């Protein structure tokens, strides 16, 4: 039974959330704050746990222990600017991002928290929209938001809205993922086109005056991961390629596992528009953030099954094998370029910036 099954269909709206903007009173702990929580958060999330407004969500251990033998526990804060962009918004990111962190650890994501810090003057309709995105992303993922917190700070003390989500999930007995499991000969896969999110955000800031159809790939991947685990029981490693992109994840693996990684540039799937965007600005798509893409490392024998499983899933239609783990040059990621030469793909220092040279 999903925690969402007992959701009441609507909760009566209160008057003070018909105001256009958030005020300091909304963070004050009194009536206005109750109204905000009821009228915006509870209305959207609709979870019975949440409705009780206890100081903590209480979850029976027996229920968790029935699903596995370890708890995965993660947190992330979301401060993206702009708040809304093609393909999603900060709310969807906050839910999918934490779900993905749990899922790539091998866990079944179960419960989330939602803590919000609002800048005084933040428009309530926009808050509703963002919280609505969080709620629909959580519902789609069958994950419940069971507790939260709301604070309001004075104008200028935060940039519009910051969200923190923490999440717990359960890891089934016997599943062990991590860089130390990776061995030379293993195959590296990604579940689709890289760089969409990073390009979207950079473009959405508006300074570059480029118009593109690129959208964020923000998505919850735990279901996809489920089919991959089933197809490749000896799956070694999973990680989502968020900030810093594919190159950062691979460098982390190479370093932790003391293995080499050899990529094939022509096998790395990148949308034509993202390639064009990067060429114009002098950016390298390997370092652009993704919010719906992961790196999976599997033993060679299980690679065809893993690839097929990904491609059969809606979040893996463009999945590809992009390289291999080697014992050559441990700690380093190298890439055979489309031109036939070889280059090193190193860790980035700082953020990538567009260039003219």
Partner 1 sequence: MRYVDEFRDPVRAKALLGRIEALAASLAQARDRPLYLMEVCGGHTHTIFKFGIEGLLPKSIELVHGPGCPVCVLPMGRVDDCVALAETPGVILATFGDAMRVPGSKKSLMQAKADGADIRMVYSPLDALQLARANPGREVVFFALGFETTMPSTALTVLQAEAEGIRNFSLFCNHITIIPTMKAILDSPELKIDGFLGPGHVSMVIGTAPYRFIAEQYKKPLVVSGFEPLDVLQSIWMVLAQLAEGRTEIENQYVRVVPAGGNDKALEAVDRVFELRPFFEWRGLGSIDHSGVRIRDAYASFDAERRYSVPDVKIADPKSCQCGEVLKGAIKPWECKVFGKACTPATPMGALMVSSEGACAAYYQYGDLDDLARRSASA
Partner 2 sequence: MCLGIPGRIVAITDPVHKLGTVEVAGVRRAVNLACIIDEDHPIEACIGDWVLVHVGFAMSRIDEREAEATLALLAELGEVMEAQRAMQAAAAGEEGDHALR
Where on the chain is the footprint of partner 1 (CB under 8 A)?
A: 207-210, 272, 275-276, 279-282, 284, 329, 332, 336-344, 346, 349-350, 353-357
Report the alpha-carbon distance of residue 109 to residue 98 in Å, rounded. Answer: 9
In the list partner 2, partner 1, none, the entry touching 339 (Cβ below 5 to 8 angstroms by class) is partner 1
- In the bound state with partner 2, the residue whose beta carbon lies nearer, of 56 and 356, is 356
Smallest separation, CB 266 to partner 1 (Å): 9
Smallest separation, CB 354 to partner 2 (Å): 9
* Backbone φ, ψ for residue 40 (5° rounding): -110, -55
Contact pattern from residue 298 through residue 337 relative to partner 2, giving x for each residue in contact according to CB under 8 A and a dash for the rest: ----------------------------------------
- In the bound state with partner 2, the residue whose beta carbon lies nearer, of 203 and 251, is 203
- For 106, how many CA atoms within 13 A lie in the half-sphere containing its CB? 21
- DSSP notation for 226-263: HHHHHH-TT--EEEE--TTHHHHHHHHHHHHHT-EEEE
Report the alpha-carbon distance of residue 218 to residue 255 in Å, rounded. Answer: 27
Residue from 212, 223, 267, 311 touching partner 2 (CB under 8 A): that is 212
In the list partner 1, partner 2, none, the entry touching 211 (Cβ below 5 to 8 angstroms by class) is partner 2
Packing angle, helices 303-311 and 222-231, rounded to 10: 150
Q: Residue 356, interface with partner 2 (CB under 8 A)?
A: yes
Q: Residue 207, interface with partner 2 (CB under 8 A)?
A: no
Report the alpha-carbon distance of residue 17 to residue 128 in Å, rounded. Answer: 10
- In the bound state with partner 1, the residue whose beta carbon lies nearer, of 18 and 351, is 351
Contact pattern from residue 269 through residue 288 relative to partner 2, giving x for each residue in contact according to CB under 8 A and a dash for the rest: ---xx-xxx-xx-x------
In the list partner 1, partner 2, none, the entry touching 277 (Cβ below 5 to 8 angstroms by class) is partner 2
- In the bound state with partner 2, the residue whose beta carbon lies nearer, of 231 and 274, is 274
Contact partners, residue 75, CB within 8 Å, separation at least 6:
98, 164, 165, 166, 167
Three-state DSSP state, 159: coil
Contact between 87 and 217 (Cβ < 8 Å): yes
Contact between 193 and 274 (Cβ < 8 Å): yes
In the list partner 2, partner 1, none, the entry touching 222 (Cβ below 5 to 8 angstroms by class) is none
Give Cα separations from 47 to 58, 60, 160, 225, 232 (angstroms): 13, 16, 26, 26, 35
- In the bound state with partner 2, the residue whose beta carbon lies nearer, of 314 and 355, is 355
Smallest separation, CB 270 to partner 1 (Å): 12
- In the bound state with partner 2, the residue whose beta carbon lies nearer, of 81 and 279, is 279
Smallest separation, CB 258 to partner 1 (Å): 14
Report the alpha-carbon distance of residue 278 to residue 48 in Å, rounded. Answer: 46
Q: Which residues bind partner 2 (CB under 8 A)?
A: 209-213, 272-273, 275-277, 279-280, 282, 355-357
């Amino acid at each position: 039974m999903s925690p969402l099954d007992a959701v009441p269909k609507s909760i009566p709206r209160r008057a003070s959330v018909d105001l256009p903007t958030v005020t300091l009173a909304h963070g004050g702990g009194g009536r206005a704050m109750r109204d905000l929580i009821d009228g915006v958060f509870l209305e959207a999330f609709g979870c019975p746990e949440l409705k009780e407004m206890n100081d903590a969500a209480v979850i029976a251990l027996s229920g968790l222990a029935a699903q596995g033998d370890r708890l995965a526990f993660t947190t992330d804060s979301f401060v993206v600017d702009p708040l809304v962009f093609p393909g999603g918004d900060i709310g969807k990111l906050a839910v999918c991002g934490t779900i993905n962190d749990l899922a790539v650890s091998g866990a079944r994501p179960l419960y989330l928290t939602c803590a919000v810090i609002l800048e005084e003057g933040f428009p309530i309709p926009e808050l509703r929209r963002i919280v609505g995105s969080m709620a629909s992303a959580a519902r789609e993922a069958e994950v419940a938001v069971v507790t939260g917190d709301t604070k309001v700070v004075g104008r200028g003390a935060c940039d519009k809205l910051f969200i923190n989500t923490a999440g717990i999930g359960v890891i089934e007995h016997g599943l062990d993922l991590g860089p130390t499991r990776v061995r030379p000969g293993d195959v590296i896969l990604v579940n689709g086109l890289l760089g969409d999110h990073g390009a979207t955000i950079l473009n959405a800031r508006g300074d570059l005056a480029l118009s593109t159809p690129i959208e964020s790939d923000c998505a919850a991947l735990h279901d996809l991961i489920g089919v991959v685990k089933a197809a490749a029981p000896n799956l070694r490693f999973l990680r989502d390629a968020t900030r810093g992109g594919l190159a950062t994840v691979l460098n982390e693996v190479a370093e932790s596992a003391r293995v080499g990684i050899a990529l094939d540039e022509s096998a790395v799937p990148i949308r034509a528009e993202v390639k064009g965007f990067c060429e114009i600005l002098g950016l390298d798509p390997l370092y652009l953030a993704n919010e719906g893409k992961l790196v999976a490392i599997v033993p060679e024998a299980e690679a065809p099954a893993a690839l097929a499983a990904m491609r059969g899933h809606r979040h893996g239609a463009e999945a590809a094998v992009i390289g291999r783990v080697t014992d050559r040059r441990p700690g380093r990621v190298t890439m055979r370029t489309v031109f036939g030469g070889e280059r090193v793909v190193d860790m980035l220092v700082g953020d990538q910036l567009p260039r003219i040279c």
